[in-house]
C-alpha cells in the first residue's frame, strides 16, 4: 500500500478524497491535517465516514507528511505554493487541488489570484493534471496541478475540435453551470440554501479565474490562441457541472461525434455519447466520468458541445486520484470504479 497524506481535509475536495481512497485497493490515507479540527476524529467531523476512516485530523505543523509517498493539497489557493517545496525536497510527490500551479504565465496568475507567487520555479515544473492531454508527463511528475472543475469540462469539450482544426478559435462561448458544492464549504451568506435554493443566476460574468486557465491550457495543448467568453452559473443543486459550448465550424458536414469518439477512444473517463442521448449531470454523479455530446444543430455552422462532470470527482478529487495513480505507477482506474448514483 502506498502511503497518502491530505492537507486540508475538512473541505469538500478533502472529504471526497477520503471517500474515494476508502475504496482504493493500493493506497491508504495515513495523514490528514486540519488546523480547525486538529485532534478530532475524522468520523466525528464527517459522519458519513463513520466506520470507514479511523484517522484523526492532525495539526498541519506537526503532521508527518514527509513520510507519505504522495500528498494532496485540498487547501485554499496560496497554501500549496508555500508548503509543497519542502515536501518535494524530501521526495514526496504532490498533487495540488487548488490553483497554485495551474497557470504557467505568472503575470496572469498573479493578476487573477491577487497574490505574489511564492514558488515560480515550481510553476514551471508542475504538470497540468489533465490525463487526456498530459498523461505521459503526469507519469513522471513530482508535482501535478489538478485542473479546475469548469476547465476540465470545457477543455475536454473543446480539445477534439481544436486539435482537428474544425472551429474558429477566435470566438468561442462556454456557458457553464455548477452545483453549489463547487463554491466550497466556507461560511458565506451568499451560499446559504435560503439564498441560492430554488433560484438560478450567472455569476462572475465580468471575469472568472477559470477563463485564463482554459485559455492557456488549450493554447499550450493545441497551439491555438482562443477568443473565449466564459460565463459560469449557479444551479440549485449540490453536485455537478454542465457546460454548453458554442463554436463556429470552419467547414460543414463533418461527423463531429466520430471525431470526438476517435479522440477519446482509449480514455477510461471520457464517454462520447450519441447526440440524441441526454447529457445529465446525474449520469456522472459520484464518478470520475466526463460525458459529452457534440452536434451541429440544423446545419447552421455552429458546433454545440454538451459536457458534464461531477465537480467534486472528475472536477477535483477523482481526477486527483487518477493523477496519483499515474504518478505512482498504479492502475489508472484504481479506486475509481463506482457507478453513477442516479436517481
164-193 residues near a copy of itself, rule: CB under 8 A: 171, 173, 175, 177, 179-181, 183, 185-189, 191-193
Name the minimum Å distance from CB 20 to a copy of itself. 8
d(CA 200, CA 299): 31
Q: Which one of residues 25, 64, 91, 207 is an interface residue with a copy of itself (CB under 8 A)? A: 207
Helix H or strand E encompassing 164: none
On whether the CB atoms of residues 135 and 326 are closer than 8 A, the answer is yes
Residue 231 interacts with a copy of itself (CB under 8 A): yes or no: yes
Residue 62 interacts with a copy of itself (CB under 8 A): yes or no: no
Backbone angles phi, psi at 140, to 5 degrees: -95, 0
Residue 202 interacts with a copy of itself (CB under 8 A): yes or no: yes
Q: Which one of residues 4, 29, 42, 235 is an interface residue with a copy of itself (CB under 8 A)? A: 235
The nearer residue to a copy of itself, 84 or 212, going by C-beta atoms, is 212
Helix H or strand E encompassing 294: strand 290-295
On whether the CB atoms of residues 45 and 10 are closer than 8 A, the answer is yes
Question: Which member of 53, 68, 149, 290 is catalytic?
Answer: 149
> Which of 144, 159, 170, 139 is CA-nearest to residue 250?
170
- Checking DSSP bridges between strand 228-234 and strand 201-202, what pairing results, if any? antiparallel
d(CA 111, CA 122): 18
Residue 236 interacts with a copy of itself (CB under 8 A): yes or no: yes
Number of residues that bind a copy of itself (CB under 8 A): 88
Taking the CA atoms of residue 90, residue 109, residue 133 and residue 250 in that order, the dihedral angle to the nearest 10 degrees is -170
Name the minimum Å distance from CB 252 to a copy of itself. 14
Residue 254 interacts with a copy of itself (CB under 8 A): yes or no: no
Stretch that binds a copy of itself, among 113-121, 151-159, 200-208, 324-332 (CB under 8 A): 200-208
d(CA 215, CA 224): 9
Residue 214 interacts with a copy of itself (CB under 8 A): yes or no: no
Q: Which one of residues 203, 223, 262, 331 is an interface residue with a copy of itself (CB under 8 A)? A: 203
Count of other CB atoms within 10 angstroms of residue 188: 10
Name the minimum Å distance from CB 228 to a copy of itself. 9
Grid cell locating 112:
487573477
The nearer residue to a copy of itself, 17 or 87, going by C-beta atoms, is 17
68 is catalytic: no
List the catalytic residues: 149
Amino acid at each position: 500500500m502506498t502511503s497518502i497524506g491530505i492537507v486540508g481535509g475538512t473541505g469538500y475536495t478533502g472529504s471526497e478524497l477520503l471517500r474515494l481512497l476508502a475504496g482504493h485497493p493500493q493506497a491508504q490515507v495515513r495523514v490528514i491535517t486540519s488546523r480547525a479540527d486538529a485532534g478530532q476524529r475524522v468520523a466525528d467531523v464527517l459522519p458519513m465516514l463513520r466506520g470507514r476512516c479511523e484517522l484523526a485530523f492532525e495539526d498541519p505543523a506537526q503532521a508527518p507528511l514527509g513520510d507519505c509517498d504522495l500528498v494532496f493539497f485540498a487547501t485554499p489557493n496560496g497554501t500549496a505554493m508555500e508548503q509543497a517545496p519542502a515536501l518535494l525536497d524530501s521526495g514526496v510527490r504532490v498533487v495540488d487541488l487548488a490553483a497554485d500551479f495551474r497557470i504557467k504565465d505568472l503575470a496572469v496568475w498573479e493578476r487573477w489570484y491577487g497574490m505574489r507567487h511564492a514558488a515560480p520555479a515550481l510553476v514551471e515544473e508542475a504538470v497540468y493534471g489533465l490525463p487526456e492531454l498530459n498523461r505521459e508527463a503526469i507519469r513522471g511528475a513530482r508535482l501535478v496541478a489538478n485542473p479546475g472543475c469548469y476547465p476540465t469540462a470545457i477543455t475536454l469539450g473543446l480539445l477534439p475540435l481544436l486539435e482537428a482544426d474544425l472551429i474558429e478559435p477566435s470566438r468561442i462561448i462556454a456557458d457553464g453551470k455548477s452545483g453549489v458544492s463547487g463554491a466550497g464549504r466556507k461560511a458565506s451568506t451568499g451560499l446559504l440554501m435560503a439564498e441560492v435554493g430554488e433560484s438560478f443566476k450567472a455569476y462572475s460574468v465580468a471575469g472568472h479565474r477559470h477563463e485564463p486557465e482554459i485559455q492557456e491550457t488549450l493554447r499550450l495543448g493545441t497551439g491555438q490562441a482562443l477568443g473565449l467568453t466564459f460565463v459560469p452559473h449557479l444551479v440549485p443543486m449540490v453536485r455537478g457541472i454542465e457546460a454548453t459550448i458554442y463554436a463556429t465550424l470552419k467547414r460543414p458536414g463533418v461527423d463531429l461525434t466520430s471525431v470526438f469518439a476517435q479522440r477519446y477512444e482509449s480514455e477510461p473517463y471520457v464517454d462520447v455519447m450519441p447526440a440524441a442521448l441526454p447529457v445529465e449531470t446525474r449520469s456522472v454523479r459520484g464518478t470520475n466520468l466526463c460525458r459529452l455530446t457534440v452536434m451541429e444543430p440544423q446545419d447552421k455552422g455552429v458546433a454545440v458541445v454538451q459536457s458534464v462532470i461531477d465537480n467534486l470527482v472528475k472536477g477535483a478529487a477523482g481526477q486527483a486520484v487518477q493523477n496519483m495513480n499515474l504518478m505512482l505507477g498504479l492502475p489508472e482506474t484504481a479506486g475509481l470504479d463506482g457507478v453513477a448514483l442516479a436517481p
